[in-house]
């Protein structure tokens, strides 16, 4: 008989070990899956985890790409983690990401073709504001009418997608694009282009912003009263109320901050790697960031690592896909396994396994 | 000293043989927007890839990546393919246009061919098929087959290629059935089985009894089969999905083009070209006509195919007016390729607006 017994305190040891354990378990289970598909499991796993970092042929390009892919994930996940800690569930970061991109790009395109160093900062402000305002909709509705922010924020993603399509086809469409959808390419507009700060490093303003956000969140959680309120509200809502935490203010703060960060991520993406507002601009960063937030255990530095790991599986997965002919669906299953095993072994952090009915050994 | 020279010589010889070996095999890459098993657009491009492998055997190596989002991710996938030593890369969706050009700039020695786009450079060619010729034929069949006089059209993006298809199908349906109406649903994706199925169901609920699609998966065909209405397959023969529903399919046959391009790269004669082939060249073909189509309609459809093939008939022949009633083509006048390539208006009789 095996039983689970709740630990009085989450185990520090297991908190540190479980992510590694999850990665190892994913490699084993994923390896079996690749073997069943007729691929050499060791080669497949090496291609996913090793080649993007150290293969001579690819690493020069894919190492910087890791930052490019991880930056929006980290930026969004850091914001989401604040809310998740307080029990405020913003599931619609994808929508805020889109709105940030639209607002930021619109400001940039409005100035086209004027060149000025003021344009990019204005775009950043507009991007953050766009995401902030979009997140305020579920925020205000929750505070005023007690609507469920999970549903409202999620459904607003679909609204944002329609606005995106309408912008790509209408207001922001490139007048010189032969009637095809999509805005002007911001890469060809120096004042609005979020270029690499150092050539071939992948380091653009979005990466810088992600690092700042991580540090900011760390300071907030560990040193600031607001961080304490957030934790208190999440762990003991009643105590929080007695302790003078205003729930309305907290909800608006968490949703607003996560919305603004998602909006920033959208702005940096549209003005940099993506280059233009197009119908298919969003590729799910807002949703993947939820996984990253939990993979990083809602801890800012954990999120930093989780974002990089997730980016590695994307880039390595692509390599494995065309180098070895692994189906894309298998790569997605592989990424899913990572989250699955992480959550599964997470049990060990909060519970101990007891063998036998009474007085058996335990780990 | 001497030993060193020998060594150096051996190394050089080794390097020579490896490069010679690498050059022996032409590496051809394909980037797909959907999964290879979509049963439509991507399946047919993948069939083209398999045809290249079969045709050249050991002389080629093909690689592909499926489900690549159109945007920043496409640029990364293309770069990685070029880095892996690809000599020729086919990018098979409209949204890969800018990523293809950006990556091509960085790899001047790699050749690229982008499907359905309009931007070219020294090492980027474009290619597309005259799908509207096929649409003319299925429009003719649809006009004859519909009992409710309502034809449903699942459209992806309001770009000229899609608008051209709607116009072509409508003109030829209307010719044989003046009462025909087209219900067009825009779903803003090429490949999303759930959205395609929803759109198909919505159209069927509106009383549509013949479905056309300009999206990639077999989902609408499956809905048509389940609801007992007729439908036309898209890009590939979809008879498996709709054994009784399918009237015919427009089939895109990319194999000859892919083989010719690969041959040109092997011979060193590759040039950036703009290819727009149709029924005549075999790039647009049809699946077997269903028995549900009456013999006379079948004969007329076959006659139209022959006339398009011989050049005796062009699908966009006047008199035609635009939706707003203004004149477009005079009696006997045909549309030139430039107008067709940039078509952004409906012809007279179509209801609804092109979203913008």
Amino acid A98: pLDDT: 98
Name the percent of chain B lying above pLDDT 70: 93
The Cα angle at residue B161 between residues B121 and A284, in degrees rounded to 5:
80
Amino acid B159: pLDDT: 86
- Taking CB atoms and an 8 Å limit, are B77 and A318 in contact across chains? yes
Beta bridge partners of B30: B64, B90
The Cα angle at residue A249 between residues A247 and A255, in degrees rounded to 5:
100
Amino acid A352: pLDDT: 81
Distance CA B149, CA B128 (A): 31
Distance CA B210, CA B224 (A): 8
> Does the structure show a pLDDT above 90 at B26?
yes
Pairing of strands B284-286, B230-235: unpaired
Of A290, A307, A254, the residue nearest A82 (C-alpha) = A254
Place of tokens 């006379």: B296
Distance CA A156, CA A192 (A): 27
Q: In what order do the strands lie in the sheet with B88-91?
A: B60-65, B26-31, B88-91, B111-115, B124-129, B274-277
Q: A57 to chain B: which residues are within 8 Å by CB? A: 83-85
Mean of the pLDDT values across residues A141-145?
Answer: 95
B17 — contact with chain A (CB < 8 Å)? Answer: no
> Does the structure show a pLDDT above 50 at B47?
yes
Mean of the pLDDT values across residues A30-46?
Answer: 93
Distance CA A326, CA A317 (A): 9
Q: What is the pLDDT of residues B312-327, one digit of tens each?
A: 999 999 899 999 999 9
What domains appear along chain B, each with residue ranges and CATH number? 2-129+254-277 (3.40.50.2300), 131-244+283-341 (3.40.50.2300)
- Global ipTM: 0.80
Q: What is the pLDDT of residues A185-241, one digit of tens each?
A: 898 899 999 988 888 888 999 999 999 999 999 999 888 888 888 888 888 877 887
CB-nearest partner of A170 from B35, B79, B356: B356
A323 — contact with chain B (CB < 8 Å)? Answer: yes
Amino acid B19: pLDDT: 44
Mean of the pLDDT values across residues B219-240?
Answer: 95
Annotated domain spans of chain A = 1-37+327-363, 55-326
A35-49, A290-304, B5-19, B236-250: least confidently modelled range: B5-19
Amino acid B23: pLDDT: 54
- Higher per-residue confidence, A229 vs A146: A146
Round the average pLDDT of chain A to a whole number and report it.
90
HSE-up of residue B203 (Cα within 13 Å, Cβ side) = 33
Amino acid B271: pLDDT: 95
Round the average pLDDT of chain B to a whole number and report it.
91
Mean of the pLDDT values across residues A165-191?
Answer: 86
Distance CA B3, CA A344 (A): 61
Q: What is the pLDDT of residues B129-152, one digit of tens each?
A: 999 999 999 999 999 999 999 999
Mean of the pLDDT values across residues A253-258?
Answer: 96
The alpha-carbon gap from A166 to the nearest alpha carbon of chain B, in Å, equals 6
Judge whether A322 and B65 are in contact, CB under 8 Å: yes
Report how far Cα A175 is from the mean position of its chain's Cα atoms.
33
Q: Which listed CATH number (2.60.40, 1.20.120, 1.10.3470, 2.40.10) goes with A55-326?
A: 1.10.3470
Chain A residue at shortest CA distance from B31 = A322
Q: B356 to chain A: which residues are within 8 Å by CB? A: 169-170, 173
A322 — contact with chain B (CB < 8 Å)? Answer: yes
Q: A327 to chain B: which residues are within 8 Å by CB? A: 35, 66
Q: What is the pLDDT of residues B247-264, one digit of tens each?
A: 999 999 999 999 999 999
> Tokens representing B323?
């939706």
Chain A residue at shortest CA distance from B343 = A179
Amino acid A357: pLDDT: 58
Place of tokens 């041959």: B263
Distance CA B135, CA B164 (A): 9
**What pTM, to 2 d.p., does this model score?**
0.84
Chain A, chain B: beta-carbon pairs less than 8 Å apart: 89
Amino acid A14: pLDDT: 80
> Does the structure show a pLDDT above 80 at A361?
no
Amino acid B281: pLDDT: 94
- Taking CB atoms and an 8 Å limit, are A57 and B342 in contact across chains? no
The alpha-carbon gap from B84 to the nearest alpha carbon of chain A, in Å, equals 7
The alpha-carbon gap from B204 to the nearest alpha carbon of chain A, in Å, equals 24
Mean of the pLDDT values across residues A109-127?
Answer: 94
> Does the structure show a pLDDT above 80 at B297?
yes
Q: What is the pLDDT of residues B73-94, one digit of tens each?
A: 899 999 999 999 999 999 999 8
- Taking CB atoms and an 8 Å limit, are A283 and B355 in contact across chains? no
The alpha-carbon gap from A322 to the nearest alpha carbon of chain B, in Å, equals 5
Instruction: Provide CB contacts within 8 A for B236, sequence distance 6+.
Output: B39, B40, B41, B43, B44, B47, B249, B251, B252
Distance CA A349, CA B345 (A): 62
> Does the structure show a pLDDT above 50 at B21?
no
A147-156, B14-23, B142-151, B288-297: least confidently modelled range: B14-23
**How does residue A362 score in pLDDT terms, banded at 50, 70 and 90?**
low
Amino acid B13: pLDDT: 44
- Taking CB atoms and an 8 Å limit, are B73 and A319 in contact across chains? no
Task: Report CA-CA distances (Å) from B123 to B26, B89, B92, B102, B271.
Answer: 16, 10, 16, 11, 7
Task: Report CA-CA distances (Å) from B182 to B170, B225, B266, B305.
Answer: 7, 20, 47, 23
- Higher per-residue confidence, A180 vs A114: A114
Distance CA A104, CA A130 (A): 8
**How does residue A356 score in pLDDT terms, banded at 50, 70 and 90?**
low
Amino acid A343: pLDDT: 82
Distance CA B23, CA A354 (A): 62
Distance CA B136, CA B144 (A): 13
- Taking CB atoms and an 8 Å limit, are B355 and A57 in contact across chains? no
Of B64, B103, B204, the residue nearest B148 (C-alpha) = B204
């Amino acid at each position: 008989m095996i039983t689970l017994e709740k630990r009085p305190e989450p185990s520090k040891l297991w908190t540190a070990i479980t992510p590694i354990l999850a990665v190892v378990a994913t490699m084993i289970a994923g390896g079996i899956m690749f073997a069943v598909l007729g691929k050499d499991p060791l080669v497949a796993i090496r291609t996913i985890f090793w080649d993007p970092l150290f293969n001579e042929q690819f690493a020069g390009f894919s190492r910087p790409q890791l930052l490019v892919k991880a930056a929006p994930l980290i930026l969004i996940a850091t914001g989401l983690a604040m809310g998740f800690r307080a029990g405020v569930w913003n599931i619609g970061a994808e929508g805020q990401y889109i709105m940030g991109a639209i607002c930021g790009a619109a400001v940039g395109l409005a100035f086209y073709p004027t060149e000025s160093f003021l344009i990019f900062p204005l775009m950043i402000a507009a991007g953050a504001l766009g995401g902030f305002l979009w997140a305020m909709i579920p925020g205000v509705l929750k505070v005023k009418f007690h609507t469920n922010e999970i549903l409202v924020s999620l459904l607003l993603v679909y609204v944002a997608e329609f606005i995106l399509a309408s912008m790509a086809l209408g207001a922001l469409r490139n007048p010189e694009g032969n009637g095809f959808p999509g805005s002007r390419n911001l890469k060809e507009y120096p004042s609005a282009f979020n270029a690499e700060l150092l050539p071939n490093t992948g380091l653009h303003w979005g990466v810088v912003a992600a690092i700042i956000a991580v540090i900011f969140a760390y300071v907030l959680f560990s040193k600031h009263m607001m961080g304490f309120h957030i934790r208190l509200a999440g762990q003991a809502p009643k105590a929080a109320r007695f302790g003078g935490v205003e729930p309305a203010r907290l909800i608006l703060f968490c949703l607003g901050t996560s919305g603004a960060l998602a909006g920033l991520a959208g702005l940096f993406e549209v003005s940099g790697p993506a280059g233009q507002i197009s119908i298919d601009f969003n590729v799910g960063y807002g949703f993947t960031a939820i996984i990253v937030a939990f993979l990083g255990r809602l801890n800012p530095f954990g999120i930093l690592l989780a974002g990089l790991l997730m980016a590695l599986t994307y880039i390595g997965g692509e390599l494995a896909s065309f180098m070895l002919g692994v189906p894309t669906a298998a790569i997605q299953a592989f990424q899913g396994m990572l989250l699955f095993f992480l959550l599964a072994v997470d049990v060990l952090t909060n519970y101990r396994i007891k063998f036998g009915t009474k007085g058996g050994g335990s780990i | 000293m001497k030993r060193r020279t020998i060594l150096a010589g051996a190394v050089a010889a080794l390097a020579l043989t490896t490069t010679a070996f690498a050059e022996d095999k032409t590496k051809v890459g394909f980037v797909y927007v959907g999964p290879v098993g979509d049963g439509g657009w991507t399946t047919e491009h993948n069939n083209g890839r398999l045809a290249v492998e079969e045709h050249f055997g050991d002389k080629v190596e093909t690689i592909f990546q499926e489900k690549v989002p159109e945007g920043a991710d496409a640029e990364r996938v293309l770069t990685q393919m070029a880095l892996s030593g690809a000599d020729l890369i086919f990018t098979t969706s409209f949204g890969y246009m800018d990523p293809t050009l950006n990556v091509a700039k960085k790899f001047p020695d790699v050749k690229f061919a982008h499907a359905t786009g309009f931007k070219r450079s020294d090492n980027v060619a474009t290619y597309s098929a005259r799908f509207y010729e096929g649409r003319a034929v299925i429009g003719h069949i649809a006009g004859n087959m519909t009992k409710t006089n309502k034809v449903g059209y699942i459209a992806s993006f309001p770009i000229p290629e899609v608008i051209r298809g709607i116009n072509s199908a409508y003109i030829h349906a209307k010719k044989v059935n003046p009462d025909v109406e087209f219900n067009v649903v825009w779903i803003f994706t090429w490949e999303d089985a759930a959205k395609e199925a929803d759109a198909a169901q919505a159209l069927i609920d509106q009383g549509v009894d013949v479905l056309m699609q300009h999206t990639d998966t077999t989902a609408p065909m499956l809905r048509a089969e389940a609801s007992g209405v007729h439908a036309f397959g898209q890009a590939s023969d979809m008879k498996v999905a709709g054994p009784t529903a399918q009237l015919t399919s427009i089939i895109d046959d990319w194999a000859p083009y892919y083989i010719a391009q690969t041959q040109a790269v092997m011979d060193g004669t590759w040039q950036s070209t703009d290819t727009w082939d149709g029924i005549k060249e075999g790039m647009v073909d049809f699946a077997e006509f269903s028995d549900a189509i009456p013999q006379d309609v079948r004969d007329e459809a076959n006659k139209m195919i022959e006339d398009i093939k011989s050049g005796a008939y062009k699908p966009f022949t006047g008199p035609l007016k635009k939706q707003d009633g203004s004149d477009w083509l005079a009696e006997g006048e045909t549309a030139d390729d430039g107008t067709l390539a940039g078509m952004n208006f409906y012809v007279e009789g179509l209801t609804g607006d092109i979203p913008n």
